[in-house]
């Protein structure tokens, strides 16, 4: 048995109270990248009552993703945006969703995320993390961005922190643990970083976004 | 004459080795510019302008270096 969008709304209003619910329900959050970080961030925001998500990725679900990314064995070969669209609809049937299957560049970040209240960087490669942070900070004032850097390996849960580097830039991670040969990405540590990001977004939406 | 820059909150003194630009500073620090977001006195400098951004003594430089994984 499934619940309807109205039933999801009713329990969410009840959980959050009408004032916080209205803030989150009225918000739009962009999730750039749907790998280990983004595939955990997007569902957390959908569960929290964020009204609209804009999700972007250019990849497909592969077997090597299942160790840490929030997809299922029966979704192999699907575009990540398509698989995530299905998963999010199963979580919150009232969620408004915009999904783009493409590789982001500065121009598309500015155009596709123009309506977002907060942008979450969930990329894998460091030059791409640089690219979106620079684009948002230099060209999209006053929008905030929540980045991640340093989340490979296992253990050291408490080394992962949420730091505000400037008024508009929050960075999650330990800043040093890069993925690479011999240093894998694990569901636990990537997931901790992802939920730090989701938590920072919720805080921004409730306390700061008008 | 020595020149000081504040880099990520720490004062660094340069003698004859004061880098001519933000790009030269990153090179001197051994940091891959492609992974760095830089602010000089609170203003974001786009990576394309690292090489042409001249540094002056007393400036406050914030460098965020991203590492891979996600």
All structural domains of chain B, each given as residue ranges with its CATH number in brackets, are 3-65 (3.10.20.30)
What would the CATH number be for the domain defined by A5-207?
A: 3.40.50.720
Residue pair B65/A28 in contact by the 8 Å Cβ criterion: no
Distance, CA of A149 to chain centre: 14
A152:B46 CB<8 A:
no
The answer to whether residue A146 neighbours chain B at the CB level (below 8 Å) is: no
Residue pair A135/A106 in contact by the 8 Å Cβ criterion: yes
The ipTM value here is 0.92
Evaluate the CA torsion angle B27, B30, B34, B35 in order and state its sign.
negative
Name the DSSP class of A126: H
Band (pLDDT 50/70/90 cuts) for residue B1 is confident
Among chain B residues, CA nearest to A132: B37
Residue A177: count of CB within 10 angstroms of its CB: 23
For residue A47, give Cα distances in angstroms to A7, A38, A91, A129, A147. 13, 14, 7, 26, 21
Nearest neighbour of B70 by CB, restricted to A123, A127, A176: A123
pLDDT average per 10 residues of sequence, chain A (210 residues): 93 96 98 98 98 98 97 98 98 97 98 98 98 98 97 98 95 96 94 98 94
Phi, psi (5° rounding) for residue A169? -125, 115
CA distance A35 to A41: 10
């Amino acid at each position: 048995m499934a619940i309807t969008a109205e039933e999801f709304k009713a329990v969410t209003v009840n959980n959050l109270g009408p004032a916080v619910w209205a803030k989150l329900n009225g918000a739009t959050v962009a999730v750039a990248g749907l790998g280990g970080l983004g595939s955990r961030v997007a569902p957390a925001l959908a569960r929290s009552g964020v009204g609209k998500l804009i999700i972007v990725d250019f990849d497909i679900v592969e077997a090597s993703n299942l160790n840490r990314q929030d997809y299922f064995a029966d979704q192999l070969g699907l575009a990540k945006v398509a698989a995530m669209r299905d998963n999010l609809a199963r979580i919150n049937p009232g969620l408004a969703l915009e999904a783009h299957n493409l590789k982001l560049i500065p121009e598309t970040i500015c155009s596709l995320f123009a309506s977002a209240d907060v942008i979450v960087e969930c990329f894998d490669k460091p030059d791409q993390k640089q690219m979106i942070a620079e684009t948002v900070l230099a060209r999209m004032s006053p929008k905030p961005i929540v980045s991640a850097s340093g989340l490979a390996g296992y253990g050291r849960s408490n080394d992962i922190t949420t730091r505000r580097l400037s008024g508009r830039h929050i960075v999650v991670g330990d800043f040093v643990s890069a993925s690479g040969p011999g240093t894998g990405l694990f569901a636990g540590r990537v997931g901790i970083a992802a939920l730090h990001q989701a938590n920072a977004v919720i805080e921004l939406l409730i306390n700061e976004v008008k | 004459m020595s020149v000081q820059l504040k880099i990520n909150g720490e004062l660094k003194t340069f003698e004859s080795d004061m880098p001519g630009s933000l790009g030269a500073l990153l090179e001197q620090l051994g940091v891959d510019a492609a992974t760095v977001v830089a602010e000089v006195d609170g203003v974001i400098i786009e990576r394309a302008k690292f090489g042409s951004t001249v540094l002056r003594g007393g400036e406050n430089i914030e460098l965020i270096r991203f590492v891979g994984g996600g």
